[in-house]
Chain A
Amino acid sequence: RKEVEQDPGPFNVPEGATVAFNCTYSNSASQSFFWYRQDCRKEPKLLMSVYSSGNEDGRFTAQLNRASQYISLLIRDSKLSDSATYLCVVNGPAYKLIFGSGTRLLVRP
Chain B
Amino acid sequence: DVKVTQSSRYLVKRTGEKVFLECVQDMDHENMFWYRQDPGLGLRLIYFSYDVKMKEKGDIPEGYSVSREKKERFSLILESASTNQTSMYLCATEKGQGVEKLFFGSGTQLSVL
Contact = CB atoms under 8 A, between A and B. Distances in A.
A71 to B, nearest CB: 15
Given A96-B45, A96-B48, A91 B99 contact: yes
A108 interface: no
B42 A43 contact: no
Contact of B42 (A42, A46, A94, A100): A100
A97 interface: yes
Interface in B83-107: 90, 98-99, 101-102, 104-107
B102 A97 contact: yes
Contacts, number: 41
A36 B102 CA distance: 10
Interface string B26-66: 00000000010000111111001000000010100000000
A40 B48 CA distance: 25
- Best-surrounded residue of A34, A44, A94, A102 (most CB of chain B within 10 A): A44
Counting contact residues on chain B (CB < 8 A from A), the size range is 10 to 19
Given A32-B99, A96-B58, A101 B45 contact: no
Interface string A95-106: 111011110000
B99 A43 contact: no
Nearest to B6: A43
Contacts of B106: 42-43
Interface in A22-74: 31-32, 34, 36, 42-46
B45 A43 contact: no
Contacts of A94: 56
Contacts of B40: 8, 101
Contact of B99 (A4, A36, A87, A97): A97
5 contacts: A43-B104, A44-B43, A44-B102, A95-B98, A100-B42
Interface of A: 4, 8, 31-32, 34, 36, 42-46, 87, 91, 94-97, 99-102
